[in-house]
Structure formats: C-alpha cells, structure tokens
Amino acid sequence: MKRLFDISLAITGLVISSWFWVLICICIIIEDGFPILIKQERIGKAGRIFKSYKFRSMVESASKEKVSRQASQNDSRITKFGRYLRKTAFDELPQLLNILKGDMSFVGPRPLLPAEIEVCGDCDSLHICEIPGFKDRAEVLPGLTGIAQVYAPRDLTRVQKFKFDLEYIKTKNLWLDIKLIIFSFLVTFKGYWEKRGMKLGFLKKP
C-alpha cells in the first residue's frame, strides 16, 4: 500500500511540477552556471548506498569537500537562489525520481551522507554512524519528509532528530504519512523549511 501510494504521488508530483523544473534550471545557470543537478551518495535502507538527486543550492566547490558537513545558518556556501530553494525545499524535487526508483519513500527518516559528521558545539565531531539509533532508522526506506522535518527546529542536533525518526518507525501507518505530507506542503508554502524554530506554530506533537 505504501509503495503504491509513493509511486502514484511521485508521478503526480512530476507532472504538476515539470514546468517549474525548467524555471529552476534557468535560475541556477544564470547565477552560478553548471551543474544544475547534484548526485550524492546517500545511505538507504539496510545501509545500501544510492545516488540521491537534488537541484544544486550551493556553490560548485562545495561538492568537492572530502568531509560533508550539515549546512549552518548563513552558510557562505549557499547561493542566493539556493537559499530560496532550501526555504521551500524545491531543491529536493528531483528526489521524486528516487521515489520512483524505490530508493526512497515520501515519508521516512532523511537519507544521510555516508561521510557526514555531527558537530556537537565545543565537543569533538561525531560521525553519524556513531549516533544512537542509526542502525534502527536504517530499517526503513529514507523519505523526503518525516516527523523530525515537520516538527523539529532546523538546528536540532542529529541525536535529537534520530529520536523523532525512531518514533516514526514505531508508529508508522498510511494516515500518519498523509498527515505529514499535508503538513510538509504547508511548510513549503510558508517557506519555513530553514526556520530555526517551530515551522508551523499550531503544531504541537505528532
């Protein structure tokens, strides 16, 4: 049921947004040239590595960094148009192709970069594989959105976000998926994906 739902919604999304892809491509080229899309290795279900597609929102040199680090507020690597893409999550439209391929679902834990590190304030950096809950969250397909993305502040640590992911795994069902997708659309329309506090003020808990 979940897979059929994902395929149907992904096809619908591609058809509706196809004209917008052209506009995004033009804006990226005008501001920062090529490439338009970036392909990144991501950790999928059961630890399988797959290629994730996104519209490029950072300067081209950022893709050559040996150790990936999560974007921070006012990150100098993000282009001007890239900030708009990230606020609305339009940079992730190409991941509809990943959903069709079966690499991802619409709802689930966000796919992580294999070399990603978590910077814990003044403490030492922590590799994502060392964060409690990493193995458990890898038991399901990663998703475009999830409980952590809708309810948690943008700057919440991975340790805390993983707790939201584990809560989703315990309670996941089709109605919860539909609810999270609807809320995600509302966040997109508000342009609040990069908001550092509660994205939708009227939401309290799943």
Please give the pLDDT value at position 116.
76
* pLDDT band (50, 70, 90) for residue 121: low
DSSP secondary structure code for residue 39 in this structure: E
pTM of the model: 0.85
Average confidence (pLDDT) over 8-28:
96
pLDDT digits (tens, 9 = 90+) for 81-112: 999 999 999 999 999 999 999 999 999 999 99
Q: How far is CA 119 from the centre of its chain?
A: 19
Please give the pLDDT value at position 62.
66
The stretches of 33-74 forming alpha helices (DSSP H) are none
Q: Going by DSSP bridges, is the β-strand pair 37-43/49-55 parallel, antiparallel, or unpaired? A: antiparallel
Please give the pLDDT value at position 108.
96
Average confidence (pLDDT) over 115-143:
78
Residue 193 has pLDDT above 90, yes or no: no
* 3-class secondary structure, 153: coil
Please give the pLDDT value at position 124.
57
Please give the pLDDT value at position 206.
45
pLDDT digits (tens, 9 = 90+) for 143-183: 999 999 888 877 788 888 999 999 999 999 999 999 999 99
Q: Between 196 and 189, where is the model more confident?
A: 189
Measured distance CA(195)–CA(158) in Å, rounded: 16
Give the residue extent of every domain in the chain: 2-190
Q: What average pLDDT does the chain have?
A: 86
Residue 164 near residue 131 (C-beta atoms within 8 A): no
Please give the pLDDT value at position 19.
94
Bridge partners, residue 60, by sequence: none
For the chain, give the percent of residues with pLDDT over 70.
83
Measured distance CA(186)–CA(180) in Å, rounded: 10
* pLDDT band (50, 70, 90) for residue 125: low
Residue 195 has pLDDT above 90, yes or no: no
